[in-house]
Chains A and B, each alone.
Chain A
Amino acid sequence: MFDTFQKYFQKAKGLALAALLLGLLPFFFTSCSDFFEKEIAIDPPDYLDQLVIHSFFDPVNDSILNILVTRPQEIFGVRDLSGLVDDAVVTVIAGGNVIEVNHRHLTNINHRPLANFYTGHISVDPGDEIFIRVSHEDTQEAVVSQVVPQPVVPDSVIFIERAGIDVDGESRSGFDIYFSDPPEEENFYYISGVYRSQFSTFYFSLESLEPGSETYNRGVIIRDQTFDGEDVRLRLLIPNSFLNMQPQYFELTFRTVTRDFYRHVQSVERYENSIDNPFVAPAQLYSNVEGGLGIFGIIWPVLAPVQ
């Protein structure tokens, strides 16, 4: 039988070649349509139902502590606000005092910052601890605490017209911030800036060449790894589009932040960089919540006028 097949094939090899090519081409063209991308379904991943706490506290500008409590939801499907938790029991202890906490629910979710927050008025000093505990009958308790940082106040901020050049070789203006870093403790800073003239207000981005500094939300975050306990001159560059602006309209906010705040915003920057980017390793957001997810951070801002 095999011999017969071979003989037949030998005789018909030209035909076989043509048939093969012609047979492959339709496959090729039909296979191209809608080939390159398709929606796929996988079993929704199992996830831990736990409480998520988000709270950023600024004891200088606002005595209200806002706490958003939510729950995770399935990654696939319709995205909505069903994760909001408005029937949790929230306990806040600030500086050793139990704080009265109320839940504020507003239908307009764009109404910030009170919509769906648990809020409490607190008054704290540097070194005080703020403790948050959130309980719900359906899931485990989540707790988080922070110690109010000792604020660092810059001695001066000097505008430098030609502070450096960027990778395009363009001249850039900038600032020198002079401050004393407290010794023998880890300190973390977050600096951002705004240009307020009588006609307009611009938020501009800052950049530092200091080792260990990173950008976050147009500002710079930095830890005192390389200058612990020293008198520091920190140079920050601004975009060259601000080259000829008036120095007196620049305003910097110098924030002393907690370590957890620093680590969280650091992870947010990496997270943003990794989302939908197949060439970058996925980044997990930093959380300091025990028994849950989210972040509680404290920021102590100081307004630093530019000289």
Chain B
Amino acid sequence: MRYIPTFLIALIVGLLSNGAFGQRATVSGYVYDNETGETLIGATVREHVTGSGVQSNTYGFYSITPGKEKVDLEFSYVGYSPQRVSFPLERDTSLHIYLEPVVQLKAVEIQASRTERIQESVQVSAINVPIRQIQSVPVILGEQDVLKVLQLLPGVQSGSEGQSGLFVRGGSPDQNLILLDGVPVYNAYHLFGFFSVFNTDAIRDVNLIKGGFPARYGGRLSSVVDISLKEGNNREFSGAASIGLLAARATLEGPIIKGRTSFIFSARRTYVDLLTRPLIRQGFRQDGSRGDLGVYFYDLNAKVNHRIDENNRVFLSVYSGDDNFFLRREDREPGFNEIHRFNSAIGWGNVTAAARWNRQWNPRLFSNTTLTYSRYRLFTRIKYENEHTVRDDFEEISLRYDSGIRDIGGRIDFDYLPDPRHHIRFGLNFVQHRFNTGLFELRDIATADDYFWTATVGQEPLNASEFFVYAEDEFDIDNRWKVNAGLHFSGFLVSGEQYFSLQPRLSGRYLFPDSNSSIKLAFSTMQQNVHLLANEGIGLPTDLWVPATDNILPQKSWQVAAGYAKEIGRAYNLTLEAYYKDMSNVISYGEGEGVFGIDNWEDRVTQGDGYSYGLEFFLHKRDGRFNGWLGYTLSWTYRQFEDLNFGRRFPFRYDRRHDISLVGNYKLTDRIGLSASWVYGTGNAITIPESRYLGTTDEGRRRFYQYFGDRNSYRMESYHRLDMGVNFHRVHSNFERTISVGAYNAYANQNPFFVHLDERYVWDYSTNTNRHETILRQVNLFPLLPYVTYSIKF
């Protein structure tokens, strides 16, 4: 054991000194967009002499060690003109590449996207959707939504109608690690889950991983949604603004110090409350009082990045978003010299912040150090005041409720590329969580009686510490075989309990001799130390994050995935994948329990197992005049809890046998683009009573009881919907405008939101009596919803 510190010191010194793996010269640097000066994620660097290649990382950094005296490098990225550079390589060389965008009408043509050929990547079960493709897909009320587009991908299912929650390969929404610039976002939804918090104007890259998780990710069972914000144009000022039926948005970016420091600021806000405020206030006045009522949400994104020198860059990014419902009312009673005031508000929102330092230690070693802050909170304020204007006394009764989670953390990640065959990543992460599982504060003050009373009900905030360390190596065994092997070790310490977990991760790829297709295989284990107490149907703000405790254990899973990837004519990517995922200690409300219970949360939940398996088909055309995809998922998902359904296994509510999505964007002319998406899904599994029987209570009263039979043994009607949109573009001298019109649920299908039993009376003419009849009713949410959005770019 005593040799370990010595070994680690030697390893670090060796890495930093750039001498551990021989004396071959290395070419390293950043790949930039020449128009904006932003780095390009996932740009391909191919060395033509040896045939080897690498990708730029999340920060645009690349490093390649060809092992030859002359190099012939080609840098490429979809939507950009490739650059080829050849030169004699005598020593380590720093080479920054600025790729020139191909001049096209951006809003229609799909430009910026990664160019790693799908069959060459070792990563299985990962999808990168170009941001411009995300912006083109027609969505509800025209409000572009990253998460809603991810729902259209195979293996990802939506929950209830209109919701942004993701159910990935049989997992629950809490099992998705949603990262915004590397910081977890705990509640990614606005307006009860109908919209996500991500403003697409500020997003640069979205990457979804459903399985075969690399060792650098951890903490959730089902998926990683890694969203990177734009860095800001460091060449010139530019911006965008739009107004739709729901919200208005604006984005401004530009250089602070040209070529070195840039910023981006983006804001979005709903405005219905502002438009209706005069009417609402008038309504209160007509009622003889003063008051206000409203609902709104907003998002703010800001990011600054500064290039200190060739080897050091720093970033600071902040996100803040809130939803607010409020009601204020004031009534005056002149005759009694009294003023009654009622103020109530419910709000929820996230704040995330990341301070990041990128350093290139030497041509082969790159590090990213990040300090993170993330906070989600839900608050309720209700206050009633009664003021006597003559006696100068008042009474106040108030209630405050707060819940949420706050993380403060730091992580450091290293990329080490000793030669083109190895890409080694290692790092560590530490997070201090603070869980507020719900605290009521009640107060009663009456100055006339000199009375003061206050009480606090609920659990005090709970602290927990979580860390992980990881190491992975993505290496070429030969020209055909490539492997990513890694280990992820995590620990969670809460209230004297310690949960440690060693999670092996392994992915492999075999490239067929035609170089156009490959087979892939991956195995990964995951552990999740935090749980979300949530309603399965809709994303309520009351959803509560809670830690694993001595009673409620961490969730665990293992998953194996196998896939076939083929590039068809350089335009189409085809993937076929099969997976099996096994989960344990998944959480569910107990029978008769729900999100609105007031008991201790640990008493309201139960833990059990789950498993899911299926096949996924994905045909993706990323760019071109016509682009889009066809996705199909055939899957089975089950749960089994000792305390539910008599211990028998049952289908998960979102066990969806068939799930189809068809997305298409077509550039009709330079000025007109068409887009459409069609989805079909097997109906959700639900529980309805099988029968009823007459019984008695212990007091002798007769009553009918329902017998439920097996849980989730019935299906709602299948879901299908067509969304359509048309974008009209026009380029003016100094700006470009787009008018988007379209419709959600274009053929107004009555898609089920939920079903319920209902009673109605039937007059029986034979007996002249009224009889109860039980029927089943389906509640539908969204009819055809047209939208129109006006947007400009300058």
Contact between B691 and A73 (Cβ–Cβ < 8 Å)?
yes
Q: Given A10-B671, A72-B691, A78-B772, A274 and B788 touching (CB < 8 A)?
A: no
B780 at the interface (CB under 8 A from A): yes
Q: Given A40-B778, A52-B695, A28 and B783 touching (CB < 8 A)?
A: yes
Q: Given A45-B714, A78-B772, A270 and B535 touching (CB < 8 A)?
A: no
Contact between B728 and A74 (Cβ–Cβ < 8 Å)?
no
B315 at the interface (CB under 8 A from A): no
Q: Which of A28, A75, A76, A78 has the most CB of B within 10 A?
A: A75
B455 at the interface (CB under 8 A from A): yes
B537 at the interface (CB under 8 A from A): yes
Contact between B784 and A77 (Cβ–Cβ < 8 Å)?
no
Contact between B589 and A281 (Cβ–Cβ < 8 Å)?
yes
Q: Which of these, A13, A77, A282, contacts B728 with CB under 8 Å? A: A13
A54 to B776, CA, bound (A): 28
A282 to B692, CA, bound (A): 14
A293 to B708, CA, bound (A): 12
A9 at the interface (CB under 8 A from B): yes
B286 at the interface (CB under 8 A from A): no
A37 to B777, CA, bound (A): 7
Q: Given A42-B776, A79-B773, A293 and B592 touching (CB < 8 A)?
A: no
Q: Given A35-B783, A70-B695, A76-B774, A109 and B671 touching (CB < 8 A)?
A: no
Q: Which of A6, A45, A284 has the most CB of B within 10 A?
A: A284
Report the minimal beta-carbon distance from B667 to chain A, rounded to whole angstroms.
10
Chain B: which residue is nearest A40 at the CB level? B778
A148-156, A165-173, A180-188: which lies at the interface = A165-173
Contact between A270 and B593 (Cβ–Cβ < 8 Å)?
yes
Q: Which of A57-94 contact B (CB under 8 A)?
A: 66, 68, 70-81, 83-84
A73 to B706, CA, bound (A): 10
Q: Which of A31, A294, A295 has the most CB of B within 10 A?
A: A31
Q: Which of B660-704 contact A (CB under 8 A)?
A: 668-669, 671-672, 687-702, 704
A269 at the interface (CB under 8 A from B): yes
Contact between A38 and B786 (Cβ–Cβ < 8 Å)?
no
Number of interface residues of B (CB under 8 A): 82
Report the minimal beta-carbon distance from A230 to chain B, rounded to whole angstroms.
22
Q: Which residues of B contact A123 (CB under 8 A)?
A: none
Chain A: which residue is nearest B692 at the CB level? A75
Contact between B672 and A10 (Cβ–Cβ < 8 Å)?
yes
Chain B: which residue is nearest A294 at the CB level? B695
Contact between A20 and B776 (Cβ–Cβ < 8 Å)?
no
Contact between A75 and B706 (Cβ–Cβ < 8 Å)?
yes
A276 at the interface (CB under 8 A from B): yes
Q: Which residues of A contact B645 (CB under 8 A)?
A: 284
Report the minimal beta-carbon distance from A288 to chain B, rounded to whole angstroms.
13
Q: Which of these, A32, A265, A270, A283, contacts B783 with CB under 8 Å? A: A32
Q: Which residues of A contact B442 (CB under 8 A)?
A: 167-169
Interface string of B450-480 (1 = CB under 8 A from A): 0001010100000000000000000000000
Chain B: which residue is nearest A21 at the CB level? B741
Chain B: which residue is nearest A58 at the CB level? B698
Q: Given A54-B695, A299-B698, A75 and B750 touching (CB < 8 A)?
A: no
Q: Which of B768-794 contact A (CB under 8 A)?
A: 771-781, 783-786, 788
Q: Which residues of A contact B746 (CB under 8 A)?
A: 24, 27
Q: Which of A269-307 contact B (CB under 8 A)?
A: 269-271, 273-285, 293-295, 297, 299
Interface string of B631-654 (1 = CB under 8 A from A): 000000000000011100000000
Q: Which of these, A17, A24, A269, A270, contacts B743 with CB under 8 Å? A: A24
Contact between A78 and B457 (Cβ–Cβ < 8 Å)?
no
Q: Given A31-B783, A281-B588, A281-B592, A20 and B741 touching (CB < 8 A)?
A: yes
B33 at the interface (CB under 8 A from A): no
Contact between A274 and B669 (Cβ–Cβ < 8 Å)?
no
B755 at the interface (CB under 8 A from A): yes
Contact between B593 and A280 (Cβ–Cβ < 8 Å)?
yes
Contact between B591 and A274 (Cβ–Cβ < 8 Å)?
yes
Report the minimal beta-carbon distance from A56 to chain B, rounded to whole angstroms.
4
Q: Which residues of B contact A45 (CB under 8 A)?
A: 688-691, 709, 713-714
Q: Which of A40, A80, A276 has the most CB of B within 10 A?
A: A40
A30 to B786, CA, bound (A): 13
Contact between B589 and A280 (Cβ–Cβ < 8 Å)?
yes
Contact between A38 and B780 (Cβ–Cβ < 8 Å)?
yes
A267 at the interface (CB under 8 A from B): yes
Q: Given A36-B780, A68-B695, A79-B772, A42 and B457 touching (CB < 8 A)?
A: no
A137 at the interface (CB under 8 A from B): no
Q: Which of B227-282 contact A (CB under 8 A)?
A: none
A134 to B366, CA, bound (A): 78
Q: Which of these, A28, A70, A165, A295, contacts B694 with CB under 8 Å? A: A70
10 more A-B residue pairs beyond the given contacts A10-B671, A38-B778, A75-B688, with a C-beta to C-beta distance below 8 A: A28-B785, A70-B695, A73-B692, A76-B774, A80-B771, A112-B701, A167-B442, A276-B756, A280-B596, A299-B698
- What are 9 contact pairs spanning A and B, CB under 8 A? A46-B690, A72-B693, A76-B775, A79-B774, A80-B771, A268-B697, A274-B591, A281-B588, A282-B708
B-binding residues in A (CB < 8 A): 6, 9-10, 13, 16-17, 20-21, 24-25, 27-28, 30-32, 35-42, 45-47, 52, 54, 56, 66, 68, 70-81, 83-84, 109, 112-113, 165, 167-169, 217, 261, 265, 267-271, 273-285, 293-295, 297, 299
9 closest Cβ pairs, A-B complex: A270-B592, A31-B748, A283-B592, A280-B594, A72-B691, A283-B591, A31-B783, A47-B691, A79-B772
